[in-house]
Amino acid sequence: MVQTSEDPRVQQKVLEKKREILHAASRVFRRRGLQATGMRDIAAELDMAVGNLYYYFKDKEALLAFVQEDTLEALLELATRVRDQKLRANGRLFMLIEEHVVLLNEEIPGSLAHLEVEALSEPWRRRVQDRRDAYERAFREIIEEGMATGIFRPTDPKVSAMAILGAVNWTVKWFRPDGGKTAREIGRECAELLVRGLAA
């Protein structure tokens, strides 16, 4: 397992290596499925000795936890940026949906594992779930604001937020970079459909 270091340069190099590993893991996950993929499969994809892989992740659960935390950190930063935009609720929701799809499918390696929170044991699962709940609240708050201002029709904000998140998270299961559309194009189409579904 990686030893901690106070040197920011060392920490950055470790982070970059972990993300390189996640890129490889993501390719294997798509070919073999998450459950069927072992640490040896990921090491083979990298042409790396499995012992070297364990230097960065002590086991597969540690790798999955890192994916979850890395993804959620980026998504929460996205939610903060969108919250600060001087847009009406529908514009902010459109932006959040579009950028969510781009983030998961183009910018974050290994994000297929973002769906696998149930694969984590405590205390990892609780820590990850708390952050997922915080991100879901960002959607709910925009929906509540849109209803209060008459932009969105009355719905249960929690159900609407979870339905949207279910749709956009699932894109990691079927999106393919060579599939004819970019993640941004798919994100815009998802946003168009999902925001229109809430419109008053």
Element (H, E) at 20: helix 8-32
- Residues 194 and 190: their CA atoms lie apart, in Å, by 6
Q: Which of 101, 99, 91 is nearest to 152 (CA)?
A: 91
Residue 164 confidence (pLDDT) above 90: yes
Element (H, E) at 107: none
Q: Kindly report, as residue ranges, where domains of CATH 1.10.10.60 are found in the chain.
A: 1-58
**In CATH terms, is domain 62-198 a member of 1.10.357.10?**
yes
State percent of the chain over pLDDT 90. Answer: 48
Q: Which of 78, 93, 99 is nearest to 157 (CA)?
A: 93
- Residues 72 and 55: their CA atoms lie apart, in Å, by 23
Least confident of 15-24, 84-93, 131-140: 15-24
The chain-wide mean pLDDT, for the chain, equals 88
Q: Predicted confidence band at 68 (pLDDT cuts at 50, 70, 90)?
A: confident
Q: Predicted confidence band at 159 (pLDDT cuts at 50, 70, 90)?
A: very high
Q: Predicted confidence band at 133 (pLDDT cuts at 50, 70, 90)?
A: very high
**More confidently predicted of 101 and 28:** 101
Q: What are the residues whose beta carbons fall under 8 Å from the beta carbon of 191, sequence distance 6 or more?
A: 93, 94, 95, 97, 98
- pLDDT at position 114 is 67
Which tokens hold the place of 1?
């397992």
Q: Kindly report, as residue ranges, where domains of CATH 1.10.357.10 are found in the chain.
A: 62-198
Residue 109 confidence (pLDDT) above 70: no
For the structural domain made of 1-58, what CATH number should be given? 1.10.10.60
